[in-house]
Structure 1
Amino acid sequence: MDTPYGSAPLPVWERPEPQPRAAPVPLSRAKIAAAAIRLADAESLDGLSVRKIAKELGVGPMRLYDYVTNRSELLDLMVDAVYAEIAEAGEQSEWRATLLAIVHRTRDAALAHEWFADLLGARPHLGPHALAVGETTAAALTQAPGIRTIDDLQRALGALNAFIIGALRREVTERRTARSTGTDEAAWQASLGPYLTRMLDTGRYPTVARLVIDGAHLDAEETFHHNLTTVLDGITGHPDGRRTSRPVRRIL
């Protein structure tokens, strides 16, 4: 399923479902995506294959190619199914509440489907649910006081997405590392305690020493929320008063 992206005459979103066949097991793209998600949740994307998906669905592997032409299309369907979960956050009473709801829902989705974080950060996802989440996010940002031009909106979206991708990948990576090593972050730090103490006693790393000695083990969810609100304050406030050199034009 590794044929080139775009090799199909129409994107998977615009191709009609194949006509129902007289077969013991009815198929649809939604069923295929759901089965693929279950496998990826259990075995990661590395464990995903046409053979395993077909076995999960109780059909022959070749039947799947009537619905998806390559691996990229399958991943598109899986990602958009996760965006459907994120879209349930919906619009809230004001712009900040909407953004907080969407981003926290995105974190929930990434922790439930860790492979989803691996697929963030490349080219934009353009499935219908992904576009709906993108529309709600961008529309909410246009209501923020510091977003005056289309340049402001583009940069704010870029900064927000960079935070989301970085934060989620770090959290997912730590969870995977803890599972693979059998050691969580606190235990790992404790195992290196004697070495780190010797290094800090040299006096060459005073600020790191303060972080190690005085810093607490912060709650992941609380830290994510705090950092998210800090990013929102920064990208929507323009505290230094700078503006883009392009002509100022209100978005709405």
Structure 2
Amino acid sequence: MSVWDRPEPPTRPVPLDRERIVAAAIALADEAGLEAVSLRKVAARLNAGPMRLYGYISTKQELFDLMVDEVYAEILPQEQPGDWREALRTLAHRTRQAALRHEWLADLLGGRPTLGPNALAVGEATLAALDSLTDIDTAMRAVETVGAYFTGAIRREIANLRAERATGLSKHDWQRASGPHLTRMLATGRFPALTKAVYDGTDVDAEASFATGLDWVLDAVATKLTRPPA
């Protein structure tokens, strides 16, 4: 029986429920990443014995599934977007915003789908926006393609944020520190395309880069959407 279907045990001296357990786990992950989350540490935060938690959650993976589904409640749009493009754009941007609030989410995106109620609601809202525009297989490939883009882009952005914290260097500080070496390498003439990118390319922030790439992917998806025959 999945964690979504398994009933909770009766309340005992220290009141517990999955909602409190998941909230404590998310707080730990927000503070120090997924490596800080264990059933023992969650139990300690709730002033409960670790064995108590096994009545609610059997494994750490179940706990992660519950945490992800809780964040999907933040991703779910309050209103159904007006068209498929806005639905997919909204999904991408709201997922990015959620990952910036909960950086550990980036580590759990892209695997097997989460089957919790909030994740299913997000999936339903997204596919519903494509309903009647094309066949279901094309709609699913469209959602997968956009999801692959924003998952990769979010992971890259979070990785850069973590690198900044680990090194103490901002993006521009790192560029300045790396500048002399890069200048010497480009001066060899072996990297003409990279030289053009460095000296002539426009430096944009992560949000602008994300939005531009997303629009390009949506433009590509639009060419594949055809209304099915009546």
Q: TM-score, normalised by structure 2?
A: 0.93
Report SS of the residue matched to 2:72. helix
The alpha-carbon deviation at position 108 of structure 1 amounts to: 0.6
- Residue identity matched to 2:99: A
Any stretches of 5+ residues in structure 1 without a counterpart? 1-9, 244-248
Report SS of the residue matched to 1:114. coil
Q: Aligned equivalents of 2:90 and 2:198: distance in 1?
A: 33
The alpha-carbon deviation at position 135 of structure 1 amounts to: 1.2
The alpha-carbon deviation at position 194 of structure 1 amounts to: 1.2
Q: What is aligned with 1:250?
A: 228
Aligned-residue CA RMSD (Å): 2.0
1:12 to 2:3 alignment: yes
Q: What is aligned with 1:139?
A: 128
Q: Aligned equivalents of 1:88 and 1:162: distance in 2?
A: 20
The alpha-carbon deviation at position 89 of structure 1 amounts to: 4.3
CA gap of 1:210–1:142, structure 2 versus 1, over 3 A, is farther
Q: Aligned equivalents of 2:174 and 2:28: distance in 1?
A: 30
Alignment map for 1:115-126 (pairs within 5 Å): 115-126=104-115
CA gap of 1:223–1:20, structure 2 versus 1, over 3 A, is same
The alpha-carbon deviation at position 111 of structure 1 amounts to: 0.8
1:155 to 2:141 alignment: yes
8 Å CA contact retained: 2:87, 2:129: yes
1:87 to 2:76 alignment: yes
The equivalent position to 1:181 in structure 2, one of 167, 171, 187, is 167
8 Å CA contact retained: 2:138, 2:224: no
Q: Aligned equivalents of 1:217 and 1:193: distance in 2?
A: 15
Q: Aligned equivalents of 2:228 and 2:59: distance in 1?
A: 42
The alpha-carbon deviation at position 139 of structure 1 amounts to: 1.7
8 Å CA contact retained: 1:142, 1:148: yes
Q: Aligned equivalents of 2:229 and 2:20: distance in 1?
A: 40
CA gap of 1:88–1:57, structure 2 versus 1, over 3 A, is farther
Q: In the TM superposition, what whole-angstrom CA distance separates every residue of 1:57-92 from its partner, at most 9, and x where no partner exists?
A: 121111111100111111111010000111144412
How many percent identity over aligned positions?
50
Moved more, 48-57 or 84-93: 84-93
Report SS of the residue matched to 1:195. helix
Greater helix fraction, Structure 1 or Structure 2: 2
Q: Aligned equivalents of 2:208 and 2:216: distance in 1?
A: 12
8 Å CA contact retained: 2:26, 2:67: yes
8 Å CA contact retained: 2:81, 2:129: no
1:227 to 2:213 alignment: yes
Aligned residue pair count = 230
Report SS of the residue matched to 1:148. coil
Q: Aligned equivalents of 1:223 and 1:138: distance in 2?
A: 26
8 Å CA contact retained: 1:90, 1:98: no
1:197 to 2:183 alignment: yes
The alpha-carbon deviation at position 141 of structure 1 amounts to: 3.0
The alpha-carbon deviation at position 148 of structure 1 amounts to: 2.4
Q: In the TM superposition, what whole-angstrom CA distance separates every residue of 1:149-200 from its partner, at most 9, and x where no partner exists?
A: 2332232122111101100000000000100110122221221111111111
- Residue identity matched to 1:168: I
